[in-house]
Amino acid sequence: MRVRKIEQICEELARTVGAATDSCIVAWDESSSPRIVFATGHTQEVLFAKAGELVGRPAGALFSGGERAARDLAAICSNVPAAEQRPMIRGGQPFAAQLLLRGVNGGAVALVRDLTAGHQQADAALRAEDLARFASLVAHEIRNPLSAVKIALQTLERHGTLAQNDLRRTSIALREVLNIELLLNEVLEFARPPSLSLVPADPRPAVEEAVAGVEAEWSARGVTFTRKRPERMSPAALDPVRVRTAVKILCRQAAVATEDAGGGAVEVAMRQLPEGWELSVADPGQTLSPELREKAFVPFTPQRARGSGLGLAVVARIAREHRGEVRLEERPGGGNVISMTFSA
């Protein structure tokens, strides 16, 4: 019955494609090792294989990211249709493709359109992936020695016997190191391909671990963190790693804004929702204008003089991965508050 439903959807899509020789339809299941369960359309032209030859093959063979990419794409369209542009594999070589994805019970259906007919589009897609890999490599190479510098400066600031002027210079240097680290983390997260591993869990431990980590970095800089959370929270489907990433980005950005305002408390709050939960991070920094708030989650549009403009774009992506949303509002009394919702 499940396979029949997938076949019906594929046949409907095939009718919309018609005689277009740059498109085909492929469906795969949602098992731990996804396999192709149906294919139709111009598979020979697009994927260099007949439809019947594709059925039963590992779905990961179609994507440069392998099985993980197939599972991620199925997760992306599990609730709503989605459109993705990414490299696929045919004849052992990558090519740029556009995928219109639709989730069905037990798998995913993709209308695959070959973009190599337009070489500029293909080159742009492959170049973007190469740039993402390069950005990730550079960020990793810089972050490791930067961590050693940060630890040394933190040790001097907390336990050294420096003269007042030297202590001030150390504090300035540490602040700039933290800013660079924030930028590198944002670049790494933005360049990283989507990967989600949902498990039912209480969200409080993941949030607290992230807040505590940022708090340790900023405790000596006049920035404190307050928490407000329910005594109990219902388990929710979440990826603890991605949740921690979002919380760290929000807390670090709030810490920078708070320090710029002369210090104070960053307020981290959690609350249970009827169908999920909400996280909010508020800072007492300079209130952003409505124009800046409107563009807050657009990549490469920094909200302050320092920053890449990538952090909140990553946060918005993580919210979407958890079937939630994110918003930036003015904090009562001045400052800003960012709220994220997560579906159960």
Residues 202, 172: one domain? no
Closest CA to 13 of 49, 45, 39: 39
Residues 153, 292: one domain? no
Residues 342, 200: one domain? yes
E-strand stretches of the chain = 23-29, 36-41, 82-90, 93-104, 107-114, 199-201, 223-228, 236-238, 264-273, 276-283, 326-330, 336-343
308 against 38, higher pLDDT: 38
Residues 332, 205: one domain? yes
pLDDT score recorded for residue 1 = 43
Give the pTM. Answer: 0.54
pLDDT in tens, 268-301: 999 999 989 999 999 999 999 888 888 888 877 6
Decide if pLDDT at 308 tops 70. Answer: no
Given 159, 193, 227, the domain boundary residue is: 193
Residues 213, 324: one domain? yes
Q: CATH number of the domain at 29, please.
A: 3.30.450.20
Given 83, 101, 116, the domain boundary residue is: 116
Given 193, 212, 232, the domain boundary residue is: 193
Confidence of residue 127 (pLDDT cuts 50, 70, 90): low
Confidence of residue 307 (pLDDT cuts 50, 70, 90): low
21 against 305, higher pLDDT: 21
Residues 68, 128: one domain? no
User: How many domains in the chain?
Assistant: 3
Mean pLDDT to the nearest integer, 69-74: 91
Over the chain, what is the mean pLDDT?
A: 84
Residues 208, 338: one domain? yes
Residues 250, 343: one domain? yes
Minimum mean pLDDT range among 34-48, 75-89, 229-243, 300-314: 300-314
31 against 183, higher pLDDT: 31
Q: Which residue range is the domain that position 141 belongs to?
A: 118-193
Decide if pLDDT at 197 tops 90. Answer: no
